[in-house]
Every structure is written in structure tokens, then in C-alpha cells.
Amino acid sequence: MALSSERLFDSLGHFGRFQACVYFASVFQAMSCGIHYLASVFMAVTPNFVCGFPGNVSSVLFHNSSASSIEDIWTLWTSTENYIVVQLENGEIWELDQCSRSKREVSLDLAYEYKGNKSVFPCSDGFLYDDTKWKSTVVTQWDLVCDREWLAKLIQPTFMLGVLIGAVIFGDIADRLGRQRVIWFTSAGQFVFGIAVAFTFDYYSFVVVRFLLAMVSSGYLVVAFVYVTEFVGIKARTWASMHVHAFFAMGIMVVALVGFLVRTWWVYQIFLSIATLPFVLCCWMLPETPFWLLSEERYEDAQKVIDTMARWNKVSTPCKVSELCSVQQDDLSSGRIGDDDTSSTKKHNILDLFCNWQIARRTITVWLIWFTGSLGYYVFSLSSVSLGGNEYLNLFLIGAVELPCYIIACVAMDKLGRRNTLIPFLILSALICVLIMFIPQDFNILIILANMAGKFSIGVAFGLIYLYTAELYPTIVRSLAVGSGSMMCRVGSVVAPFCVYLRSVWIFMPLVGVNQDLGNVLGGDDDKMCIKNVTCFAFHLQEKIDYFLPLYKLTGAVVPQTHSVVTKIAADTEEWVGTYLFCLCILEMASPKVAVVGAGVIGLSTALCITETCPSCSVAVLSDQFSPNTTSDVAAGMLIPHTYPDTPIHRQKQWFKETFTYLFAISNSAEASEAGIHLVFGWQVFKSTPKEALPFWSDIVLGFRAMSEAELLKFPQHQFGQAFTTLKCDCPPYLLWLEKRLKAAGAQMYTRKVADLWELHSEYDIVVNCAGMGAHQLVGDKQLFPVRGQVLKVHAPWVKQFIRDGDGLTYIYPGIHRVTLGGTREKGSWSLSPDAGTTKDIFDRCCSLEPSLQGAQGMEVKVGLRPSRQCVRVQREVLSQGGVELPVVHNYGHGAGGFSVHRGTAIEAAQLVEECISALQGSSSRAKL
């Protein structure tokens, strides 16, 4: 979606009746994704069990308690280390362990302790399961215990692998075949595969069908996310996209509810799958998104959807597809795409996310957060059922806790900004992880509360990262960045189940906390590290190695010998990798975010100066127009200063000098032709002697002198003249060169109209206003007025010298390819339409100065509004609302001389930005950074 998307929503409403219906229908189905992602927590649970025995039991003994059946013993069963003694009707006495059984050689009387000989047998008669809580699970159905336990542990990771693959495949298919078809297919697939899982006949068919279910579930989620954001306007997009996650969370609550009511796994699975039925029955009514239709050039279909939207939203005059296309075309032709656009004129690859140090650092940070967020999200969710207490209530609460967290995330993002919301919640979740490790295992309630707090904080961070990633990257690699981040997220979700299984492999940290002297714990290498830095959560490599123990076993690795060595290496590596990456993460988020509004010569050069003076800043240029559609593109670009009456001359001179020096260096470099900068000699002629014989800039331009008598012969109507060499910028090439430099410095470019500077306060620390004439409306500056200028661009390569009439009204400025003929100065006129009479007048005036121009070819007429003021506004200001402050630096009002002083005012503005940064760091607003 480009700028056109906002035009569409401005016309049809950002979240009208139509969008509400489409939104709630689509997100309702997102619930089923939450259901299937978490269904295994009850379906694949392993109840208490012991080895089966041959024959009928006559009595059962467990420590001092006896019973006539094993069912009565389960309530006494406390540890998997215990065994149960059974006496059979034939008199045999068996000791039943979890994965083996022993027959006592002497079976005279039934006692729990036995010192005599016994023969050990494998569990060839199957297993006896405690069915007081779950009548049947897939573990009990296919005996996924003991040497088949690893099969049970692979159920959730294989599902998550399906999620990973589904997201990639269906994301791509949705771009090719359309969102609507993928939504139909994946929601029908969820129903069909969901029911099919309940009828699988063995473990392998169960895993395969669930893998397919995972693919369609994640496919649905990814495409539904895109689908709803393509239907919702920017004003409602943050809330709408965040709350897709809320419906996923409701799915988790449904799992808890159904798990509580139904205790047979396949009935439970059928009930869960039926939840998707209402949507499957009506999803065929959902329309395709107009943006996908436009991208496929299906204009009539797109218009039909727009008309339907208009009818539902009661809009009488909907916008036309042709209007959207023209804007898109403009954006595409400039190679620049809007804020939410996913297309690009050039194919980019993953290496573009590492194209320079700043972007690479950002990518690593973002990936880290995606991975950590997803890992944390699933670890907290999946492990909630094994925390003790009521597992159904635990899971329900772990889902419910997510609902307020998206509301808080939306509000906090708006009030504090993305980064200031993300950092505290990430740190909080890490601290909670550390805390949980030290809570004694008996303190169930405390552990559950800490788990919920952890889920809440990671939920805020995880929910936000989608949107934040999209905003952190330049448009051209944005979808790539979100896609790669989401891939890291899937990796986190594949790893998460292993982390949860660690509970049975690795001794609980809380127990270590209670059984050992705290000083010893802190003295231990691994734990000291955990206390010392919160990166334990994100980068606990040792944990990961432990988590992978089941896999090591699976592959037959000699775990005991290698584990200690690997653990040591991992612990050391983790310490520095974790600390380093965490610092990067904090540093990245702590670098001040500066928004520069405006992409004319002033905005681009100011942004470039900021990247140079403050390399740690993250700079974004936001503008509703870029080259070639700015006033700066119309300008002749000559370095002959205009005088601002209310700006001290020494300041103007300084600005001009800095600009001249900067451009002169470029003109002497290999980049001169690409940047469109060149030296040009010429004359400024006067009909009468000028007021000042020497302008203030005469010692800055080269070879300034009075014109000779011989030279003046060329201008018979003029009596006096000055000759000098100055610089000229060919405007569009220079603007493109500035953009290129900015991108190389890691700055981002967004096509965005800023209605009010305050709207940027939540996303940026400092705003720089370089909106040119746009500042009239943006900051309500009544001192700013337009001075309309019309120029002609002609092809006349024989004209090599510039000629300027001393009044500045008529001029001939030869550029590298074209000659600019000017001009007009119409104060207060806002008209951007070329005037034919003025065109003739300009041409005649120029021909009277340089008659050879009669032979000029290929005339192009351009109009621009000079953003004029009595003085240029380069100034600091602090906006304040409800106690929140936003530092602003203004740099606009350059009138007829923007090119002549752009670098000088940019340097001054960049210094003001530095001052703002120092003020922010030193003041109570430090937290903002």
C-alpha cells in the first residue's frame, strides 16, 4: 500500500462498518490458530503410569497403604521414583516401576520392602495409566513413554516446524494467488485437518496430519494479518493489528475450557476443531483486498470492492481506482513507495539487512527480540500447565492475561513511543525469568503469578515487535525485515517446547535456590552469570543445550561425557555473546530517534548533517513528496545568495561560506557529475549602479570583479556588471545524490504526510521541521508566505556562461544538461499551474539578454513556491502536552536562496539537534532515550 491506501481510507473511512465486519470475521478465525497451537498441552499430556503386569491383581501396596486396585493408589502417588507392589491372584508378587517391573522370587507375604532376589522384566504387557484426570491422551493411546517418550516430546516441535513452513509457503502463495483464496483454503484446511487429527490411527499419521494442520493454521494467521491491515486505514491500523493477537489469546482460553470439560483426547480435538466451523461456512463471502487486485491490474474488480466498501460505509462518492493508480504510479516512478507498501522496484535479499553497520546492528537486535519474544511467549504458555495448582485455570489465565497487554501496548506505544514501551517490558520479562528460578517449587501461587507477569510483559513486547520492525526499516526492505524477523520468531517457537521439556531433564533452579546457601549459588559460574545479567533469558545457551538433551539422546550421542564440556564452553560463550548482544539491543534502542520532516534540499541536507554529527542517531526522513516533486526540484540551484532582511548578515555569510566550501569540494571530486555540481562563470548586470558595490558574498565566490568595458559590450542595455565564478547544483541529481548518501548512512525514508508535529512524539525523540512551504500549515507560521516562481528549462548546450539581471528577475543559468531561464516573483500566489503569458514573457526577457536562445529546444515549464520569510527560521523549540515534551528544531523559510545556504543552515540545525540530545540526556526526560 502506498500513499494511495491512505487516499482510499480518507475517502471510505479508516474503520467503517465494512471494515469492522471483515475485521471481526477474520480475527474470529485467528482464535482457531491459538486453539491448535496450544491444543497439545492437554492432548499430549503424560499422566502417572507404571509398567503393566500379567494376570489379575488381588491386592496392591504402596508404602504403608494397601488397596484392592491400582486406581486407588494413584492419589497417593507422589514421585516417579516410587514403585507399586502388586500381588496377583496366582500369588506372584510384582514391583512395578515406570519403565520396568520385577518379579519377587520369594512371594510369601506382601510387604513393601523386600531384600530377596527378584527378576527384572521389560514392560511387555504395556502400561497402566492414571486416568483420574485424563481418560485418554495421545501418550496413553500409543504408549509414548519410556523409550518412546521422545516421540511425545517431538509432538509440539514438529507442529511448530509446520508453523514455520506454513508461514513461508502461504505468505508467498497469498502474494501470488490473492489473500482471499488463501484465507478460504487455510480456514477450510484447519477444519478438515483438525477433525482428521482426531481420527488418526497411529502416532505417525497423527504427527503428519498435525503438521499439515500447523501449516494451514500459521498460513491463515500470517495472511489474515496482512488481510486486515490492507482493509484498515492508518488511523485504526495499530489497534487492529495488535488485537489480532488478542483473538489468538482467546483461542488459548478456549483450549483451557474445552480441556476442562472433555478428557478424551480425540473428542477434545473434535470440539476444538468445531470452533472454526462458523467461519468456514461464511468465509467465502470475504472479498479480495483492493490492493492485491490493483497489484494484479484487476482494476474493475478493485473498483467493485471499493464500491461495496462505500455502500457499507455509507459513502456517496467513493474514490476511483484511477486516482489510486495515479498516485501509485507517481510513487513508483520515483522509486519510492509509501509507508505500508510491500512492493519494490528492485529485488532485495537478506544481505540488504546487513548493508551497513547501522542496519546490521538493527537487524541483529530485531531478530534477537523476535526470537526472545517468541521463545518467551511459548515457554510461558506451554509451561503454565505444569506449574502446579489447577492446570486448566493456569492455562485460561495465561491466555486471559494477554488481553489487557495489547490494550496497554497500544496506549503505551502512543504515549511513550515504541522503544520506550519495548525496553522496560523486555527487561521486566527477563527479570521475571530470573525470579522464577529462585522461587521455591512449593510456592505454587507465587510461581503462577510470576509466570503470568512474565507472559504479560513478553506479550506486550512480542505484540509490538511486528509493528516496530515495519517502522524500523526503509520501505524497500521492510517486508523482508518483517519476514526474516517472523522467521526468527518461528525458530523461537520450535525451540520453546524443548525448553519446557527441560523441566524433566534439568533440576529446577528454584530447588537449587532453596537447597543451597545463596552465597554458594551466586558463587557458581552459571548462576552468577544469571544474576549478573538479564541476558539469561534471551541467551541462556546452557539451557538450550540442556533443552536439546532429548535430541542428543535421540541421536545416540554420549551425553554424560560431552555435556559437561559443552556446558562449560556454552557458559563462557554465552556470557560474552549474551552481554554483547544485550548491550547492542539496549544501545540500538537507546540511540536517539530523529524525524526530519521534508525531503527538499533543506530536509535532506539537514538529515545528512545529523547523521554526520550524531552517528549514533537513528534518522528518518518523513515527507509527503520526494524528488522530483519538491520545490527544490524546480529551483535553478545557483549559488548566488538572496538576502534575508531580518537575519544578521554575518550569519547569512557563514551559511553561504559553508555551503560554497562543501559544494566546491564535491565539484572537485569524482562525484561531481553524479551529484550534479559544477562551477560556472558568468555575469551579473545592472541597468544602473547597484546600491552596494560589493555584495557580502563577493569574497566567497571565485574571482569576483567588476566587468570590463569589453565585456559590457555584450549587454548594451546595461551600464554596470560583476563577473565571477560560482557553483550550480543541477537540482534533481543533487537531491538524489543526497538521498543516496543518507541511505548509505542508514537513514530511512518514509512517504508520509505529517498533519501535526505532535503526532510524531510517540515514535521519535526529536523532530526537525524542514517542511518548506508546508510549515505554513504544519506549524501555523503566518510569517511564512509563498513567492511563486516560474522557470523554463531548455536545451541550449552552447550557452556556457550564466547571465543574471541585477534585479534578480531575469536570469539564464546553464546546467550540465539544461539551461534554466527565469523568472518571476509573485508574492502571495499559491498557484502551481504554469502560465502561458508568463512563459512567453520570461523567454522574451532571456532572449534580449542572450539572443542565441531563440534556437533553444525542448522547453519545459516549471512552477515552485519559494518558502519565504523575513528571516530563515533555524530555531529550537520544545512542544509540550500533558507534561510530555517533544524537542523540535525548525529549519525552513529559505525563500529564494535555499540552495545557496542549505549546507550552512543544515549544520546549524544539526548542532541544535545535538543540543536537544544533550538536554534530553541531562534532564528528567533521560528515560525517553
Residues that bind ligand FAD (CB under 6 A): 597-603, 622-625, 630-632, 634-638, 753-754, 770-774, 778, 789, 791, 823, 864, 866-867, 892, 894-900
| End-to-end Cα separation, the chain, in angstroms | 31
CA 133, 136, 142: angle at the middle one, nearest 5? 135
Rounded Cα gap, residues 523 and 529, in angstroms: 9
- The nearer residue to ligand FAD, 32 or 630, going by C-beta atoms, is 630
> In the complex, what is the shortest distance from the CB of residue 660 to ligand FAD, in angstroms, rounded to a whole number?
11
The x, y and z cell numbers of residue 873, run together, are 527560521
Helix axis angle for 418-438 and 444-472, nearest 10°, is: 150
- The nearer residue to ligand FAD, 3 or 196, going by C-beta atoms, is 3
The x, y and z cell numbers of residue 718, run together, are 546595461
The answer to whether 637 touches 679, Cβ cutoff 8 Å, is no
- The nearer residue to ligand FAD, 93 or 685, going by C-beta atoms, is 685
Taking residue 917's Cβ as centre, other Cβ atoms within 10 Å add up to 22
- The nearer residue to ligand FAD, 167 or 736, going by C-beta atoms, is 736
> In the complex, what is the shortest distance from the CB of residue 873 to ligand FAD, in angstroms, rounded to a whole number?
10
> In the complex, what is the shortest distance from the CB of residue 590 to ligand FAD, in angstroms, rounded to a whole number?
27
Cα-flanking dihedrals φ and ψ of residue 215, to 5°? -60, -45
Rounded Cα gap, residues 814 and 850, in angstroms: 12
Rounded Cα gap, residues 56 and 239, in angstroms: 63
- The nearer residue to ligand FAD, 286 or 597, going by C-beta atoms, is 597
> In the complex, what is the shortest distance from the CB of residue 344 to ligand FAD, in angstroms, rounded to a whole number?
21
- The nearer residue to ligand FAD, 265 or 813, going by C-beta atoms, is 813
Compute the Cα dihedral for 626, 630, 633, 635 and give only its sign.
Answer: negative
> In the complex, what is the shortest distance from the CB of residue 772 to ligand FAD, in angstroms, rounded to a whole number?
2
> In the complex, what is the shortest distance from the CB of residue 734 to ligand FAD, in angstroms, rounded to a whole number?
11
The answer to whether 231 touches 289, Cβ cutoff 8 Å, is yes
> In the complex, what is the shortest distance from the CB of residue 339 to ligand FAD, in angstroms, rounded to a whole number?
12
The answer to whether 888 touches 760, Cβ cutoff 8 Å, is no
> In the complex, what is the shortest distance from the CB of residue 732 to ligand FAD, in angstroms, rounded to a whole number?
11
- The nearer residue to ligand FAD, 409 or 819, going by C-beta atoms, is 819
Cα-flanking dihedrals φ and ψ of residue 805, to 5°? -70, 140
> In the complex, what is the shortest distance from the CB of residue 8 to ligand FAD, in angstroms, rounded to a whole number?
19
Taking residue 768's Cβ as centre, other Cβ atoms within 10 Å add up to 32
> In the complex, what is the shortest distance from the CB of residue 525 to ligand FAD, in angstroms, rounded to a whole number?
54
Enumerate residues 6+ apart whose C-beta is below 8 A from 158: 207, 210, 211, 214
> In the complex, what is the shortest distance from the CB of residue 30 to ligand FAD, in angstroms, rounded to a whole number?
34
- The nearer residue to ligand FAD, 104 or 869, going by C-beta atoms, is 869
The DSSP annotation for 231-282 comes to HS-HHHHHHHHHHHHHHHHHHHHHHHHHHHH--BHHHHHHHHHHTTHHHHHH
Q: Estimate to the nearest angstrom the gap between the alpha carbon of 399 and the chain centroid.
A: 24
Residue nearest ligand FAD, CB atom distance? 774
> In the complex, what is the shortest distance from the CB of residue 33 to ligand FAD, in angstroms, rounded to a whole number?
38
Rounded Cα gap, residues 22 and 640, in angstroms: 58
In the block, which residue shows the cell 470439560? 261
- The nearer residue to ligand FAD, 73 or 779, going by C-beta atoms, is 779
- The nearer residue to ligand FAD, 266 or 697, going by C-beta atoms, is 697
- The nearer residue to ligand FAD, 98 or 632, going by C-beta atoms, is 632
Rounded Cα gap, residues 193 and 212, in angstroms: 7
Helices (H), 473-548: 475-505, 509-515, 518-523, 525-532, 535-539, 541-547
Q: Estimate to the nearest angstrom the gap between the alpha carbon of 737 and the chain centroid.
A: 27
The answer to whether 244 touches 228, Cβ cutoff 8 Å, is yes
- The nearer residue to ligand FAD, 553 or 678, going by C-beta atoms, is 678
> In the complex, what is the shortest distance from the CB of residue 803 to ligand FAD, in angstroms, rounded to a whole number?
13
User: Which H or E run contains 891?
Assistant: strand 884-892
- The nearer residue to ligand FAD, 305 or 754, going by C-beta atoms, is 754
